[in-house]
């Protein structure tokens, strides 16, 4: 599988974002309620375009993000992917965001196993970690279900305090 290839799960279609997605990407990353859990300030349209361009060609790069869309309606659900890949330490940070209308509907429980498998099988990493806002209890609970454990930060962060949780390859139950 090439990282740029689209794929599906039971309810989700994963594909690269493109310029036609600019409205939903802007909405996602500029909404004040959504931004409560992001480590970056709300974005404008120019920055939304830059987000799409940044993740446009993932092959061989240390970052990648999929748009997640409802299979039946093609509604934008959110994004997920990885960044901060460290080849020397054999670790990568994953991240995701679900549009608030779809919170607590099990979308990350469906997407996380796919993302974890992709990272372990295609990126030659031994550690996958996530940094999340300490008040984002739903996110912490989601990754905990898949074996992630609280740990010391896997990289330095300048942003507000974050909870770091990691999953080691040996603890992943394929």
Topology of the domain comprising 7-171: Aminopeptidase (3.40.630)
Q: According to the model, what pLDDT value does residue 101 have?
A: 92
Whole-prediction pTM: 0.88
CB atoms near residue 163 (< 10 Å): 17
3-state secondary structure at position 140: helix
What is the model's pLDDT at position 169?
A: 93
Question: Could you give the CA distance from residue 31 to residue 41 in angstroms, rounded to a whole number?
Answer: 10
Question: Using CB atoms within 10 A of its CB, is residue 70 exposed (0-12), middle (13-18) or buried (19+)?
Answer: middle
The per-residue pLDDT for 152 is 86
DSSP structural state of residue 92:
E
Residue 106 tokens read as 């099990």
Residues 6+ apart with CB under 8 A from 73: none
Q: For residue 6, what are the CA distances in angstroms to 3, 16, 86?
A: 8, 7, 25
pLDDT the model gives residue 102:
92
Low-confidence residues in the chain, pLDDT < 50 = none
Both tokens assigned to 50: 């830059």
Task: State the virtual CA torsion across 29, 79, 55, 150 in degrees, nearest 10.
Answer: 90
Whole-number pLDDT of residue 155: 80
For the chain, give every domain's residue range: 7-171
Each residue's pLDDT tens digit, 144-174: 999 999 988 888 777 667 888 999 998 887 6
How distant, in Å, are the alpha carbons of 70, 83, 126, 127 from that of 89?
A: 35, 14, 8, 8
The DSSP call for residue 169 is G
């Amino acid at each position: 599988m090439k990282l740029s290839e689209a794929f599906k799960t039971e309810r989700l279609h994963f594909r690269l974002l493109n310029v036609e997605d600019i409205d939903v990407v802007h909405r996602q990353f500029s909404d004040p309620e959504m931004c409560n859990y992001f480590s970056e300030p709300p974005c404008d349209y120019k920055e939304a375009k830059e987000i799409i361009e940044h993740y446009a060609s993932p092959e061989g790069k240390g970052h990648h993000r999929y748009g997640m869309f409802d299979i039946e309606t093609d509604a934008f659900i959110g994004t997920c992917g990885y960044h901060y890949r460290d080849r020397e330490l054999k670790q990568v940070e994953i991240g995701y965001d679900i549009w608030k209308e779809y919170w607590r509907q099990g979308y990350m429980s469906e997407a996380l196993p796919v993302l974890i498998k992709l990272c372990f099988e295609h990126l030659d990493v031994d550690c996958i970690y996530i940094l999340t806002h300490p008040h984002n209890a739903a996110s912490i609970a989601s990754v905990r279900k898949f074996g992630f454990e609280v740990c010391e930060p896997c990289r330095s962060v300048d942003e507000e305090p974050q909870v770091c949780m990691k999953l080691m390859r040996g603890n992943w139950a394929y």
